[in-house]
Amino acid sequence: MSTDDDGARPAHERHVPVLLQRCVDLLAPALAAPGSVLVDCTLGMGGHTEAVLEQLPGARVVGIDRDPQALELASARLARFGDRFMPVHAVYDDVADVAAEHAGSDDGLVQAVLMDLGVSSLQLDEAGRGFAYAQDAPLDMRMDQSRGLTAADVLNTYEERELARILRVYGEERFAPRVARALVRRRDERPWERTAELAEVVRAAIPAAARKTGGNPSKRTFQALRIEVNGELEVLERAVPAAIESLAVGGRIVVESYHSLEDRIVKRAIARGLTSSAPAGLPVEPETHRPYLEALTRGAEEADAAELERNPRSASVRLRAARRLRPTPDHMIRTSHGKESR
């Protein structure tokens, strides 16, 4: 844990949740009944969970986070809610298993799932974590610092072609080959260790004309490395379908994304449930081919002017939400297995 002044501050003073009330309002109809369960897949510092527990007194929340420090801070923040809150140290593609264990019902299904994706305020604001290009720190970027490769490991061991691919795909960096070449040249001189060095080398590799717009030119490289280090997109590809299958009929999923790569995955997973799978021309649509989701937002919602003024980090948010309409075959298999295991 950081020993700077920010690290000593309680969680509620260090984080402004994005689109907080909108998320609660979307989740509320599914969480009105006593004993209803929300799985907060990305607990962070617990802001969204706190609002749910305050406003919906019948609800319980299971909070997942891979970051032990986040779990510690959020648990202190939410201690006043007693057993209505349960912290779980896991990666959120384990949502199905976590839901089944804590659902409190024979079917192993929950009433709501929330995902607030991307890097948390805790991770951005603590210089020692290495997520922020504006602060010099060791090149770490792991959300769970107890395991896995660091950003320095990636920079020091990946081949130039693979670095270029990561920058192009995960960072949407137009100059990925140029930046990758610069990164490899620099490591041939000495190993990568610090974020300030990385930001400097990346900036120098971007053509001067391209540096005039779009903010700090390092942000795309930092995003790409963070996604690679934490396997974020692979986790998300597994997590969204698993979350949908963890919902009881009438249950709701709310997802906040912060860049197009995340939003594309979320959009695709929800869209699968919004459309009929019946072959064209059938006189009657079979029940098993009807949509199993109903959209609760028109496309992706963005932050309004008031939200942007209150919380500048909401500038890139895209919020999507859906409601479970009916079971699917996977749903029914999961339900039967849940009953057998109990």
CA pseudo-torsion sign 248, 277, 271, 322: negative
Q: What is the largest CA-CA distance in the chain?
A: 70
Cβ contact 221:241 at 8 Å: no
Cβ contact 240:265 at 8 Å: yes
Q: What are phi and psi of 44, to 5 degrees?
A: 60, -130
- Asked whether residue 136 is marked as a ligand-binding residue, the answer is no
- Asked whether residue 123 is marked as a ligand-binding residue, the answer is yes
Burial grade of 341 (CB within 10 A; 0-12, 13-18, 19 or more): exposed
Task: Give the pairing type, strands 247-257 and 85-89.
Answer: unpaired
Cβ contact 257:318 at 8 Å: yes
For helices 219-230 and 160-170, the axis angle rounded to 10 degrees is 100
- Asked whether residue 188 is marked as a ligand-binding residue, the answer is no
- Asked whether residue 46 is marked as a ligand-binding residue, the answer is yes
Output the DSSP codes for 229-268. Answer: HHTHHHHHHHHHHHHHHTEEEEEEEEEEE-SHHHHHHHHH
Name every residue whose Cβ is closer than 8 Å to that of residue 314 and which is 6 or more positions away in sequence: 18, 19, 303, 307, 308
CA 117 to chain centre: 2
Residues within the annotated binding site? Answer: 46-48, 65, 92, 116, 123
> Residue ranges for the binding site for S-adenosyl-L-methionine?
46-48, 65, 92, 116, 123
